[in-house]
Structures are given as structure tokens and as C-alpha cells.
Amino acid sequence: MKEFKGRVVTPGNVTAEAVVTHGGFNTLASLQGALQFGDKTATCKDQNNPDLFGKPTAGKALCLPMTIGSTTGGLVLYCAAAMKRQPACMLFSEHIDSLAAAGAILADVWLDDVSMPVVDCLGDEFLDYVKDGMTITVKDDGVVVVE
């Protein structure tokens, strides 16, 4: 077990299974199946992300360095949350980008029945340590426990 401390972007407490990518998470390419084709598991459709391609992301602790892609990223993330197909939490090793932050914050503020804690600035050591299938617990204060 190891603890990491990051910056809280959207608060919350959650425990979930980790899915990890060491490359940028293209929000639109990854979640388009969930939004357009009714995939309730939000299976990653981004063929350019070998770490996540074909893996479900809904309800998972999504561990990533950053998001990449088009300016629709924030809206895609918000829509996934509105459809209840969002990750359980998003844990960034780097600073969150403005688009992902906008989507997460809008979901937190506008959706009463949705929780998706987001923590950034967890560091490279976090992303090196965490592996798919590990149990992640996120606390309100930005502490992330990896087991």
C-alpha cells in the first residue's frame, strides 16, 4: 500500500479498480462508443492508446498523465457523466488541462446525482507505481491510496 497526495479538482470519496495509461487520454476517441452507441461500460475506443484500448473505463479509477485531443474533451467528459458512463475518478500525474477540468467541474456542479472525484499533480511516481487492477481509494483531501 502506498499513499500519494495531489491537488483536489473536484472533491469526493471513492474506491475503485485502477485502469492505467502512460499516454495521453483522448477523451473523444476513447468515449465515443459510450456516447454514440450506448456502450454502458465506456470501453476505450482509442486505437492509439494501447494501454486502454478495449478496456472498460466506466466506474474505474482512471490513472493518466493528461488528456489530449480536440476542444470537445470537456463536453465529452461532462456528457459521459450525465449518461452515468464516467470513470469513478480521474487521477492525473500531471496538472489537469483546462478542458478536462471544465468537464469535471461542470459535471460536479450541474449533475446532482453524479460523483467523479478528480485529483491532479500526483507525480510521476504515482503513475509508475499504479497498475491495472489495483484498488484505489480517493479521499476528499486529495490523498490517493493505492493497494
Q: Determine the Cα–Cα distance for residues 133 and 147; give it in Å rounded to an integer.
A: 9
What pLDDT does residue 4 have?
A: 98
**8 A C-beta contact, residue 108 and residue 82:** no
Residue-range domain boundaries for the chain: 2-146
Name the pLDDT band for 112 (thresholds 50, 70, 90): very high
Distance CA 26, CA 126 (A): 20
Average pLDDT over residues 26-55: 94
Q: What fold characterizes domain 2-146?
A: Glucose Oxidase; domain 1 (3.50.30)
Beta carbons of 88 and 14 less than 8 angstroms apart: yes
pLDDT tens, position by position, 68-98: 998 999 999 999 999 999 999 999 999 999 9
Burial 7-27 (b: 16+ CB within 10 A, else e): ebbbebebebebbbbeebbbb
